[in-house]
Amino acid sequence: MTEASNPGDLRRREATSSSRLPAARSLARERAMPLALAQLQDLGDRLSDRLRPWSRSAQFWVRAVDIYTSYKVCQLRAGFAKDEEEREAMWEQQHELGAQKMYSLCSELGGFFLKAAQILGKPDLAPTAWVKRLVTLCDKAPTTPINVVRDVVEKQFGKSFDEIFGCFDVEPVGSASIAQVHRARLKLSNTDVAVKVQHPGAEKLMMVDIQNMQAFALFLQKHDINFDLFSTTKEMEKQICYEFDFVREAKAMERIREFLRVTNKKPPVIVPRVIPGMVSREVLVMEFIEGTPIMNLGNEMAKRGIDPGGKIATMAKQKILRDLTLAYGQMILKDGFFHADPHPGNILICKNTEVALLDYGQVKAMPEDLRLAYANLVIAMADDDFLRTKESFRDIGIETWSIADNELEELFQLSLRMFDTRLPPGVTVMSPFSEDSSLNKVGVQSFPEELFSVLRTIHLLRGLTVGMGLTFSCAQQWKPIAEEALFKSGRLKGNFVSTSVISLYLL
């Protein structure tokens, strides 16, 4: 009898085979489970990505409606209060409540709403309670983990991280809604640099946010505010799209840096130098500039034994503001191409009170006719010329309606609220949308989208002016620059040409 025909052996083989079958099936299941879990996780991630814009929109509208209705209810209640002190107490309480709700909205949703906080959290525009809460959001943007930062850099530059950098600080020196910045040292040149890296996925959420804001702006424009808010949000949408292209930002930075260099014996502000060959759409490497954020200027002075409210500090603040506004006057009125985001987080104070202007994601090129029409408005505001202001509004393309008997005066006051940094004596808040605003008598039906960046820039500069405790008129400082622009174009009205214009022109 052969081994194969042995009945005992056959039974043993059958038993072994039958015992191996469940084990093989179990092993196959074990191998399939991670794959199934991975596929399930991937499906969940894709579903989450699809639902996230809807969830985000729902959160915005629930919170926005809550804030809006609470203010409308307070407005109604305040109308029945006979005592002025009682009304003020009601509004103060409402502002505290509204500030807390707005802070929660901006901090928890992030994205575009962090930019909104930068605009609203200014002492000349929002109630004090709002300013105290929202100003703390300037450096509260979420950060991208360092491993993701490494992946983005390596993908954009096509090199390993260690080939590029000799050292790289894990913690960012700053993080905003679109990107974060790390300090690093280039391996080959041993140069300290700032590395700006875009947050993955931020662009898509930004577009969702701005669309929701546009819808809300249309509602407010229709029911509460006599101003073309929708056009301003459209311009914001355009600018935000530009901010996600770091190649464009690098070109803008170099253009402004060169313009200020050739225009002045010494540029009024420092513009970072772009590191050649180290720019992509999502990563930008530039020189690192040491300095104190302008928000911390008072504390830094106190540390050095300088009284922040004293004469020396006031002189330093005046120089800082003068240099900053001079740079903006030259950019806007001479070149028509300017940095359009001077919020406090983008301004550093360096040695000898030199000013460094950072972040060129938002820049604006003004059409020639608009630049010259705005120059005419600057002169009108500086000279308190009511009629010229009205003519300038028309030339700029700002369409208004009026119910005021003193239309020219109200229109002039509106121009100051929108386009000058000066404040009346004793006034620290001068919002275009306040109860005593000229907008209640002169409505703005149409506002050029291209001018929104100028409007926003002026309001940010005014916020800095108020924050420093100074009184300053950018229109008066810019008048010679505006006259020069009109003189060179042959559009300077009248027979008088100031000596400052002639000297500027001859130079």
- pLDDT tens for residues 466-507? 888 888 899 999 999 999 999 998 877 554 455 444 444 444
Is the pLDDT reported for residue 39 higher than 60? no
Structure tokens given for 70: 């609470």
**What number is the average pLDDT over the span 76-101?**
90
Q: What is the pLDDT of residue 309?
A: 85
Mean pLDDT check: name the lowest of 253-262, 371-380, 450-459. 450-459
> Which residue(s) pair with 270 in the sheet?
356
Sequence-ordered list of residues with C-beta below 8 angstroms from that of 158, at least 6 positions apart, any chain: none
Is the pLDDT reported for residue 192 higher than 50? yes
**What number is the average pLDDT over the span 354-366?**
94
- pLDDT tens for residues 110-122? 888 887 887 777 6
- Where does the pLDDT of residue 45 fall: very low under 50, low under 70, confident under 90, or very high at 90 and above? low
**What number is the average pLDDT over the span 30-54?**
59
- Where does the pLDDT of residue 140 fall: very low under 50, low under 70, confident under 90, or very high at 90 and above? low
Nearest to 285, CA basis, from 295, 294, 274, 296: 274
β-pairing, 355-357 with 269-270?
parallel
Tell me the C-alpha distance between 438 and 409, whole Å.
Answer: 9
Tell me the C-alpha distance between 157 and 337, whole Å.
Answer: 29
**What number is the average pLDDT over the span 180-196?**
96
Tell me the C-alpha distance between 364 and 248, whole Å.
Answer: 12
Rg value, the chain, Cα: 30
> Whole-number mean pLDDT of the chain?
84
Structure tokens given for 282: 């999502």
Mean pLDDT check: name the lowest of 116-120, 158-162, 174-178, 183-187. 116-120
- pLDDT tens for residues 401-442? 887 788 899 899 889 988 999 876 656 555 555 555 656 678
- pLDDT tens for residues 263-291? 999 999 999 999 999 999 999 999 999 99
Question: CA dihedral defined by 242, 247, 249, 252, rounded to 10 degrees?
Answer: -120
Question: CA dihedral defined by 216, 462, 121, 133, rounded to 10 degrees?
Answer: -160
Q: What is the pLDDT of residue 206?
A: 87
Structure tokens given for 245: 């292209």
Percent of the chain exceeding pLDDT 70 equals 82
Tell me the C-alpha distance between 474 and 462, whole Å.
Answer: 9
Residue by residue, DSSP assigns 50-65 as HHHHHHHHHHHHHHHH
Structure tokens given for 498: 């100031």
Is the pLDDT reported for residue 190 higher than 80? yes
Is the pLDDT reported for residue 27 higher than 70? no
The DSSP symbol for 277 reads E
Mean pLDDT check: name the lowest of 148-152, 300-304, 482-486. 300-304
Is the pLDDT reported for residue 237 higher than 80? yes
**Residue with the larger pLDDT of the pair 337 and 472:** 337
Is the pLDDT reported for residue 184 higher than 90? yes
**Global pTM value:** 0.77
Q: What is the pLDDT of residue 414?
A: 87
